[in-house]
A and B are shown apart, each in its own frame.
Chain A
C-alpha cells in the first residue's frame, strides 16, 4: 500500500493533525503528524486490519531547523510487507512528544536515545533517562548549536 492510500485511511479516521504526504523529494515520502496525535495514530496504524504496521524499524530524533526538532518514525509491516515514514515536528522551546513505547516496545531505547542526543522529551515514557551519555552530562550533543563543554566533573574534555 502506498503513502497516498494510507493517508486517505488516516484522514477518514482522524479529523485533524494528519499532514499531506510529501512525495516530491528523493527518496522516501513521508507524512507530518501533529505531536498530540502521534500516539493515537501509531496505535491505529498498528491495529488497523488494512495497515498492520507491527514493526518499528527506527526512531530518530532530528534537529529539524532553527526553531524545531523532529522525531522520525520508520515503520514496516511483516504481514503486509509495506513501509511508512512519519514525522512529528515540535518547537525547541516545548519539545514534548507523547511516547510510542506502549505501541512498540522497540521505541523504548530509541526514545531514550533521542532524548539523550537531541533533547526531545517523551511524555509518559516509562524510564526516560540518558542512554549513551553519562547521566550527569549537560546539553544534547546532536543539536546543531551544541558546544562541547570545556570541563566535565572538573576534568578537561579533550578535542
Chain B
C-alpha cells in the first residue's frame, strides 16, 4: 500500500450547514473519512456588541445582551444586571430575586430542550426534536404572558424587573411543572437510551477533566467530564443558596467519562434539577416591589467588575469598566459558547466526519454568543 500516493483533502463544513447550528465554518482536513484537523472560522455573526455598548447607557445595553445568546436571553440579562448592580452596590428586593431565579430556571429548561432536540436531529432522530420543541413552546408561553416577548425579553432591569409577573403566573407555572415532569422519562425512552443514539455518541469526543479545565470549558461540557462545578453552588449569586438541588456530572455510564453521551445526559439531569428549584421557589415569592430605589440615571462609580453566572451553556461573565460616566468604558462578555467551541479541534481529531457533527452538537453552541 505504501506506493499509493495519498493526499489530504480539505473540506469546508459550513458556513451554511444545518449541523453547524448557525453560521460557523469548520475547515476539515481529511484523510479518507478520518478527520486529522479542524480549523473553526467564526465571526460571521459579529455585530460589534462590545463596541455598541460604549455608546449606550447602562440600561440600554440590556436588549443587546438579549441578542447574545438568543435562545437564552433571560440568563444573559441576569448576568449583565448582576454585574451592574454589583458595581453600583444595589440590593434588589427579595421578590425580584425569586422571580429572577424562576425565570432563569425556566430559561434553562427552554435552552436545554432546544439543545437536546437539535442534538437528536443531528443524529438523525427527528421525532424527539418535535417533542422538545412542543415542550419548549410551553415555556415560551410563560415568558410571553409575563413580558409579551417569546425570545428577547428585556425583562430584567438594573435594580429590578421591567414589570411584575401577571396574577395567574404562579398557577400557570405549577401547571407547567406538572406537565413537564413526565417529559424527561419520555425523552429518555425516545432518545437517551436508544441504541443507535448511544452508538453515535458514547466513546466519541472524549474530553479529559484536566484538559477541560485548562481549556476553559464551562457548564455541561465541563460537568460532562466529571467535574462537580456549578457557579450556582460554588460561587453563589442571587438567592441560589436557599434552594436544594444537585449538580449532575458525567459518569461514563455508556462509555468513557467526558464523551458526547455524558454531556448530553448532564443536560437531561439538569432539567430535573431546574424543575426542583422552580417548585421550591414558586410558592415562596414574597410580596413587594419589583423595582428597588435606584437613581433614574444609572451612573456607576469609577471601578471595574467581573460578574459571572451559570447560564445553561456555562459561565457567562461580564467584565465592565466604568469611568464614572453614563456609558460603560468597556464591556467584555466572556461567553461560554466561545470557550466551548475552541475545544472542537481537540475533540474531533481522529474521529470520522459524522462524529464531528455529533461532537459539535454536544457542545451546544449558539453563534450569537460566540461572535457577539
Residues of A within 8 A of B (CB): 25-28, 30, 54-58, 60, 62-63, 72, 74, 78, 81, 85, 104-106, 108-109, 117, 130-134, 141-142
Contact B372 A132 (CB under 8 A): yes
User: Please, how many angstroms separate the alpha-carbon atoms of A50 and B57 in the complex?
Assistant: 41
User: Please, how many angstroms separate the alpha-carbon atoms of A74 and B42 in the complex?
Assistant: 23
Least Cβ distance of A50 to chain B in Å?
18
User: Please, how many angstroms separate the alpha-carbon atoms of A57 and B305 in the complex?
Assistant: 13
Contact B51 A62 (CB under 8 A): no
The answer to whether B339 has its CB under 8 Å from any CB of chain A is: yes
User: Please, how many angstroms separate the alpha-carbon atoms of A131 and B371 in the complex?
Assistant: 9
Q: Hey, which chain B residues are within 8 Å of A78, CB to CB?
A: 213, 227, 229
In addition to A25-B304, A55-B216, A134-B43, 6 A-B residue pairs with Cβ atoms within 8 Å of each other are A26-B303, A57-B306, A105-B211, A105-B342, A131-B42, A132-B46
Contact B43 A131 (CB under 8 A): yes
Please pick, from A30, A60, A109, the residue contacting B338 in the complex, using a CB distance under 8 A.
A109
Please pick, from B46, B227, B303, B308, the residue contacting A57 in the complex, using a CB distance under 8 A.
B308
Q: Considering only CB atoms, which chain B residue lies closest to A77 in the complex?
A: B213
The answer to whether B215 has its CB under 8 Å from any CB of chain A is: yes
Contact B216 A104 (CB under 8 A): yes
User: Please, how many angstroms separate the alpha-carbon atoms of A63 and B211 in the complex?
Assistant: 31
Least Cβ distance of A107 to chain B in Å?
8
Q: Hey, which chain B residues are within 8 Å of A85, CB to CB?
A: 306
Q: Hey, which chain A residues are within 8 Å of B304, CB to CB?
A: 25, 27-28, 30
Least Cβ distance of A124 to chain B in Å?
17
Contact B214 A81 (CB under 8 A): no
User: Please, how many angstroms separate the alpha-carbon atoms of A58 and B321 in the complex?
Assistant: 14
Contact A132 B43 (CB under 8 A): yes
Least Cβ distance of A132 to chain B in Å?
4
Q: Considering only CB atoms, which chain A residue lies closest to B300 in the complex?
A: A26
User: Please, how many angstroms separate the alpha-carbon atoms of A37 and B3 in the complex?
Assistant: 51
Please pick, from A26, A74, A105, A134, the residue contacting B319 in the complex, using a CB distance under 8 A.
A74
Contact A109 B342 (CB under 8 A): yes
Please pick, from A30, A55, A74, A117, the residue contacting B50 in the complex, using a CB distance under 8 A.
A117
Interface class of chain B by DSSP: mixed
The answer to whether B301 has its CB under 8 Å from any CB of chain A is: yes
User: Please, how many angstroms separate the alpha-carbon atoms of A69 and B86 in the complex?
Assistant: 25
Query: Which chain B residues (32-76) contact chain A, with CB distance < 8 Å?
Result: 42-43, 46, 48, 50-51
- Write out, one digit per residue, whether chain B residues 289-319 have a CB within 8 A of any chain A CB (1) or not (0): 0000000000001111110100000010101
The answer to whether B286 has its CB under 8 Å from any CB of chain A is: no
The answer to whether B200 has its CB under 8 Å from any CB of chain A is: no
Q: Hey, which chain B residues are within 8 Å of A62, CB to CB?
A: 321, 330, 332
The answer to whether B18 has its CB under 8 Å from any CB of chain A is: no
Please pick, from A28, A108, A131, A142, the residue contacting B51 in the complex, using a CB distance under 8 A.
A142
Least Cβ distance of B364 to chain A in Å?
17
Known: A28-B305, A141-B51. A105 touches B216 (CB 8 A): yes
Contact A26 B301 (CB under 8 A): yes
Please pick, from A56, A63, A117, A142, the residue contacting B216 in the complex, using a CB distance under 8 A.
A56
User: Please, how many angstroms separate the alpha-carbon atoms of A130 and B371 in the complex?
Assistant: 12
Q: Hey, which chain A residues are within 8 Å of B363, CB to CB?
A: none
Please pick, from B48, B234, B235, the residue contacting A141 in the complex, using a CB distance under 8 A.
B48
Contact A26 B305 (CB under 8 A): yes
Least Cβ distance of B83 to chain A in Å?
9
Contact B213 A55 (CB under 8 A): yes
Contact B317 A57 (CB under 8 A): yes
Least Cβ distance of A68 to chain B in Å?
13
List 30 A-B residue pairs with CB atoms under 8 Å apart, sorted by A's residue number. A25-B303, A26-B87, A26-B89, A26-B301, A27-B86, A27-B303, A27-B304, A28-B303, A28-B305, A54-B214, A56-B216, A57-B216, A58-B319, A60-B330, A60-B334, A63-B330, A74-B317, A78-B227, A104-B214, A104-B215, A105-B216, A105-B342, A106-B215, A106-B342, A108-B342, A109-B342, A131-B43, A132-B42, A141-B51, A142-B50
